[in-house]
Structure 1
Amino acid sequence: MKEIQKINNEINDLTLKIEQQYPELYQYLNENPVTIPCCENPELDTKVFSDWLESLKDLLKDFIENQQKSLTK
């Protein structure tokens, strides 16, 4: 359980960072497919939270890279 709490804290911190520093990206977080459960009572385990965290990291990384590309054009 501690591992899930740690990952959840990272998710919260990253989400807050996105909200504060990248508000144009934050508006799309609700549409992230990883956060939408596929069944009525989803199993929330370490893997699910880890995948969610990684998807947020990837989303932010891609956004920053694309933002930089558009600035250099």
Structure 2
Amino acid sequence: MFLQVKDTNDLVKIVDFQELIDPNRDSVHAQDQEGQEEQETEIFKKEELVFPSGESLPLCWLDANYRKASYKKAS
């Protein structure tokens, strides 16, 4: 899966999808997609990543307590 770094618009390839969707982790291992050679794996903060379309990552991937947070906002 490819995601985009917000500030630079660089594409990164997610190494472990389970790491990405785990809301208890705030960072992921990914490879920058520049040049033709495979790049070294780096750590990226999830908050710095978006889908290539510009859409944010789902809150349930970022916050283990997302249901409680959205409930508080609604009341």
TM-score range, shorter chain: under 0.3
The alignment's TM-score, normalised by the length of structure 1, stands at 0.27
Higher relative contact order (CA 8 A, sep 6+): 1
The alignment's TM-score, normalised by the length of structure 2, stands at 0.26
Which structure carries more strand by proportion? Answer: 2
